[in-house]
Chains A and B, each alone.
Chain A
Amino acid sequence: MKKNHWLTALIGIIAMLFLVAGCGSNSSASGSSKGGKVTLGFSQLGAESQWRTANTKSVQSAAKKNKKINMKFSDAQQKQENQISAIRNFIQQGVDVIAVAPVVETGWETVLKEAKDANIPVILVDRMIKGKNVDDLYSAWIGSDFTKEGRKAGDWLATYMKKQNKASEKLNIAYLQGTTGASAQVGRTKGFAEVAKTHSNWDIIEKQSGNFTREEGKEVMEAFMKSSGDKINVLVSENDDMTMGAIQAIQEAGKTPGKDITIISFDATNDGLQAILDGKMNADIECNPMSGNDVMKTAIALKEGKKVQKKVYVHESLFDIDNAKKNMPRPY
């Protein structure tokens, strides 16, 4: 047993030596920022979905292409403690800018305060954080404008109806919401409602949460079809997964999705665009994971001491039958 203890201690010492050596080489790396390079520490929350994987790829390739950027990437595997220790490592290594895609909304005050005290600006990616005075703890946020996405869905529907000379016809809309309270749900619902309010002939007759999953999307749509299947002309569904389930429910009720019922969805996944090509869906509003270039631009601006916008929205498109094919296959 005693021998084992010695062995552990030895391994520990060697590991520590490596760590120290690692730190040394890193600090020399950040020293190279004299040559105009910006050292960026990026803490990704993990790889929970294809969307997230696309986001990671976008950040990594943007960093590679950008000659001014030297990026250190850390994957937190969906654990906040991993992200916090990654940020602390970045601070110790003396990086120029830290970017975080936070896994949860709360609990960031302490570690971000440490970054602030070390004069390292922080960029939040995709998700927001909550807490006391957290607004002072980051310099910029880069992500999707969910409310705008919702508005886009409404505007597309208005134009589509106008094209068919049905602008003044009564529209009965069924609305599948995402998980109640999720920022994508709140924003999209709000944005679409804003547009719907301006059309007196639009009526949201069914509205229910499908929790962003196929199963529940299908089950809720089945119920919609039973209670008012003859009336529904439009389905708005807050993500592609729920839409796929809902399309099945519509078909099983003997209606043709995309024809009898105009379908608008969000996310613009590969499955979503395929559904547009198959004529089962009419429009898909993109939720863009490709924020890499925006992150790099903002990081460089921060390092150069320029003023940056507190909220940077990534560019997001809308796909329908006119441009779906050109944009396939999708990265997620």
Chain B
Amino acid sequence: MNQVKQKLKGFMQHKEAWAVIGILIVLLFNVFFSPKFFQISFNNGHLYGSIIDVLNRGSSLVIVSLGMCLVIATRGVDISVGSVSAVGAMVAVFLLKSAGMAAAPAILCGLLAGLACGVWNGFLVAKLNIQPMIATLILMTVGRGIAQIISGGQILTINSKAYAFLGRGYVFGIPFPTIIMILVTLGVWLLTRKTSLGTSIEAVGINETSARYAGISTTQILWIVYIICGLLAALSGMIESANVSSADGNNNGLLLELDAILAVVLGGTSMDGGKFYLAGTVIGALFIQTLTTTIYTFGVPAETIMVVKALVVIFVVLLSTDRVKNAFAKLTERKKAGVENAG
């Protein structure tokens, strides 16, 4: 019994704990109110079910959030990810449609557009020392404008099967976006945990000046994280647009930045920078998607969706605050003391 308690206590000390608990709460709700949520079948040669939907639709948010996580770890923030994802998608779709380009080079160009956006943000933050919120605000507004100019203000639609595969293909019955998500997660993990990049990022986030004195090229590190963030945002935008074979400069990735920031924070990474938690970020993003899919499956009236989402998020964020954590710790301690006294 005590061992379980110890283990539980150890688990609660993990920063990722609250995102996990968030998902568990939502899943528990589904156990009672819509058990169909857990049905997974094999349909048309691929996996089919609500859980698969979460992993499928959630993958683009996971990808953006990983980039956001690195930026936040440097005590920055990139609020342009939604617009950048729209730009990436628009560039790829435009090249496919109007220039008759093949899918692979078009996707590459979309990524390049994301890279360019990242370079721009990195330039403003790292070189010109503009506050990240303000620096990325520029691209947040201008990005949608650029996407509109490319398409002439219209929604572009295409029929490319190869491009569509990016968003709704299946490999061995597993959704292709999910596979991309796993690869990107693995890539970011290797890049930050198997090289010194991760430590450098954390050092910049904890104290930029002392990091510089310690011999870390802070400019370079900042530039790298904004570029990664831009690249991943464009990739996620293309996945979303490939899913519906169209690009919509106005609506692609709308408010994506907020979901991404939320995923990172729920995952245990502090907005003050420093230590970052990739696993927590992935779980945080999947929590948000689980919530969305649950709301749609359960059938909450359209007018109240926002409020329901906000309430659940407030609840989970409250749980993760230090005050509630301390109260929780005290409670378990007192119980323990009580048990000992009785013994």
Contacts and interface: CB of A to CB of B under 8 A. Distances in A.
B154 interface: yes
Contacts of B243: 215, 218
Interface string A192-214: 00000000000000111101011
A271 B245 CA distance: 13
B153 A215 contact: no
Q: Quick one: which of A48, A50, A208, A218 has the most chain B CB within 10 A?
A: A208
B154 A252 contact: no
A208 to B, nearest CB: 6
Interface stretch (A117-125, A220-228, A277-285): A220-228
B153 A47 contact: yes
Main secondary structure of the interface of A (DSSP, over half): helix
A127 B240 CA distance: 31
A48 B153 contact: yes
Given A49-B154, A214-B248, A218-B244, A207 B299 contact: yes
Chain B interface residue bracket vs A: 20 to 34
B275 interface: no
A248 B244 contact: yes
Interface string A212-241: 011100111011101100000000000001
Contact of B302 (A50, A177, A227, A241): A177
B244 A244 contact: yes
B239 to A, nearest CB: 11
B185 interface: no
A227 B297 CA distance: 6
Contact of A219 (B57, B153, B246): B57
B136 to A, nearest CB: 23
B298 A227 contact: yes
A203 B258 CA distance: 37
A220 B246 contact: no
Interface stretch (B36-44, B73-81, B101-109): B36-44
Interface string A173-189: 00001001000000000
Interface residues of A, number: 30
Contacts of A328: none
Interface in B240-293: 240, 243-246, 248, 251-252, 292-293
Interface string B13-45: 000000000000000000000101101000110
B49 interface: yes
B43 A254 contact: yes
B301 interface: yes
Contacts of A227: 34, 36, 297-299
Contacts of A48: 153
Contacts of A226: 36-37, 39, 49-50, 53, 297
Nearest to A177: B302
Contacts of B153: 47-49
A241 B292 CA distance: 21
Closest 5 CB pairs of A and B: A223-B296, A209-B302, A214-B244, A223-B297, A227-B297
Given A180-B303, A207-B301, 15 more contacts: A49-B154, A177-B302, A209-B305, A213-B251, A215-B252, A222-B53, A222-B57, A223-B53, A223-B296, A226-B36, A248-B168, A248-B244, A252-B44, A253-B43, A253-B48
Interface of A: 47-50, 177, 180, 206-209, 211, 213-215, 218-220, 222-224, 226-227, 241, 244-245, 248, 252-254, 271
